[in-house]
Structure 1
Amino acid sequence: MSTVVCFHAHPDDECIQTGGTMALAAAEGHRVVLVVATRGEHGEIVPDVLEEGEALWQRRIAETFDAARILGAQRVEFLGYVDSGMMGEPDNDAPYSFWSTDVEHAAHRLAAILTEESADVLTAYDDHGGYGHPDHIQVHRVGLRAAELAGTPIVLQATMNRDHILAGIAEARAAAEAARELGEGSEPPADEPDIGEIPDDFGEPEAHITHAVDVRSFVRAKRGAMVAHASQIAPDSWFLTMGEEQFERAFGTEWFIRVGRRRGEGVPFAASIWD
């Protein structure tokens, strides 16, 4: 069996970005290792979750171990950098922030874990971190350099399929409009989805993506891992209130770009991270 190391920026990123792939790999008997760069000190706290005097970082570490257990990870490591906040904030340049750390130094630390684990696969993020978060961009830089240092053969950049998301938004809008037409003169349904826009730099076009991993059989584990991150993901959040079918559509496929590989026009996505 093989070893896959999933490298993430903050607690809860692992279940949202690669939770299904982690659970799938573990179910197939592979060793799954989770490495988290920061403890997520600057996350927005769900009200009334923390105990009196409890620091957010303490809770987020505990939540990560709970989520990792649900997903089948056998080892969890924190690199111990400080959450850098959103791009352009003063926290970007704070002492020990991940964004301001030396890439080479951080890469050697991650490479030591990859070497110790004889990792076959490393997952990181795409070059803009999915949506421009500084810590996510740094995961890309540090992860790819660490794989070079350790000689990890397969490196996958987790991303979002922008075309898939836009198609889903268009379908939801069409369904909402059809419902309004059928009920002309009445109020919109109370459960009508809030369909927003996505930034221009969110995810990657489908043409850039090499892998589409079907994790529909593991969406319950993925959702359970999200529930474990109670300080960040509230019960009434979009993640946890959508119906099962909608959740499966949103999270039942995990998308990756394999470093050093391109997918030709008309060529199917690779279905396994080992491919």
Structure 2
Amino acid sequence: MTTTVFFHAHPDDEASGTAGSMILTSDAGHRVVVVYATHGEHGTVPPDLGDDRPLAEYRRIEAEASAKVTGAARVEWLGYADSGMTGWEQNAHATSFHGADLDEAAGRLAAILDEEDADILVGYDWHGGYGHPDHVKVHHVAHRAADRAARRPRVLENTMNRDRMREQLAAANSMGLDPGFDADAPMDDGNPMGLPESEIHHAVDVSGVIDRKRAALACHGSQVDVQGMLEMPPEIYAQAFGVEHYAEPGLPQGMATRLPFIS
């Protein structure tokens, strides 16, 4: 049995990015742990939150519900505040993840890696997929934590396949559909989303568990962007989210394997 730690910036990031891989990995009998850097305090506020209930508490409950769907055996929080999008004043707050000392944050994550004797650590690509400050920080903290762990885990970087997205958008346009999205448009940091396929090493086909991945996403229904994804027809959702992609630093350029699960 292997132990894989999935390190995410905010609650719901696991559901859209790696939930299928988590489900397949736990189904195969391996231990799955999910760690969140922040509580997602700057997400959208649900109408039933109430004046005396912090959003962080609400989203924590949603994350625990998602863990039941993905088979995560343990849910942990590094305890930092959501930094907001690029340029927000929250980026500079004293408790923000974006502004956290790299070694301190890595130490918190490394302690979990050591407790778990983790074999694999999953973070994000070099620009966090789309440039969100907390996602970029996940990339740096994951690599520093791996270096500090008593037994260095293998590091995989969750990303999006820009070439695949471009092909899917072209197919939609050919059918007269307008998704309203450009795979090559600049995102939060000025870079296009994800990575080109030439920089990606692994693909995990999660189409067989796509309904359960969608169920994990539904656990985070308080968030407007999540609700938008759930409004996709099931067949379109499966096309868009049926394969999860990972880069692995140190491997030669080009797709290496199509993994049945993270192992």
Q: Same fold (TM over 0.5)?
A: yes
Aligned residue identity for 2:212: A
Corresponding residue of 2:213: 222
CA contact (8 A) 1:211 1:272 kept: no
Equivalent residue of 2:259, what SS? coil
Aligned residue identity for 1:143: A
Q: Percent identity?
A: 45
Q: How many residues align?
A: 256
Q: Take 2:256 and 2:154, find their aligned partners in 1: how far apart are those partners?
A: 19
Q: Take 1:173 and 1:41, find their aligned partners in 2: how far apart are those partners?
A: 36
Corresponding residue of 2:85: 86
RMSD of aligned alpha carbons:
1.7
Q: Using a 3 Å threshold, how does the CA distance of structure 1 residues 193 and 71 change in structure 2: closer, same or farther? A: farther
Q: Using a 3 Å threshold, how does the CA distance of structure 1 residues 244 and 138 change in structure 2: closer, same or farther? A: same
Q: Take 1:52 and 1:122, find their aligned partners in 2: how far apart are those partners?
A: 38
2:242 to 252, 265, 268: 252
Q: Take 1:234 and 1:130, find their aligned partners in 2: how far apart are those partners?
A: 16
Q: Take 1:268 and 1:117, find their aligned partners in 2: how far apart are those partners?
A: 27
Alignment map for 1:60-209 (pairs within 5 Å): 60-150=59-149, 151-176=151-176, 194-198=179-183, 199-200=185-186, 201=191, 202-209=193-200
**Larger C-alpha radius of gyration, 1 or 2?**
1
Q: Take 2:253 and 2:205, find their aligned partners in 1: how far apart are those partners?
A: 18
Q: 1:28: how far off?
A: 0.3
Q: 1:208: how far off?
A: 0.1
Question: Is there any run of 5+ residues in structure 2 with no aligned partner, and where?
Answer: none
Q: Take 2:179 and 2:17, find their aligned partners in 1: how far apart are those partners?
A: 22
Corresponding residue of 1:53: 52
Q: Take 2:105 and 2:261, find their aligned partners in 1: how far apart are those partners?
A: 25
Q: Take 2:261 and 2:216, find their aligned partners in 1: how far apart are those partners?
A: 21
Q: 1:273: how far off?
A: 5.6
- Structure 2 residue 223 is matched with structure 1 residue 232: yes
Q: Take 2:10 and 2:168, find their aligned partners in 1: how far apart are those partners?
A: 27
Spell out, residue by residue over 1:204-231, the C-alpha distance to the aligned partner (whole angstroms, 9 max, x if none).
0000000001111111111111111121
Aligned residue identity for 1:269: T
Equivalent residue of 2:156, what SS? strand
Q: Using a 3 Å threshold, how does the CA distance of structure 1 residues 148 and 272 change in structure 2: closer, same or farther? A: farther
Q: Take 1:73 and 1:38, find their aligned partners in 2: how far apart are those partners?
A: 18
- Deviating 4+ runs (over 4 angstroms): 272-275
Spell out, residue by residue over 1:119-162, the C-alpha distance to the aligned partner (whole angstroms, 9 max, x if none).
11100001100000000000000001101111333100000000
Q: 1:117: how far off?
A: 0.3
Question: Is there any run of 5+ residues in structure 1 with no aligned partner, and where?
Answer: 177-191
Corresponding residue of 2:42: 42
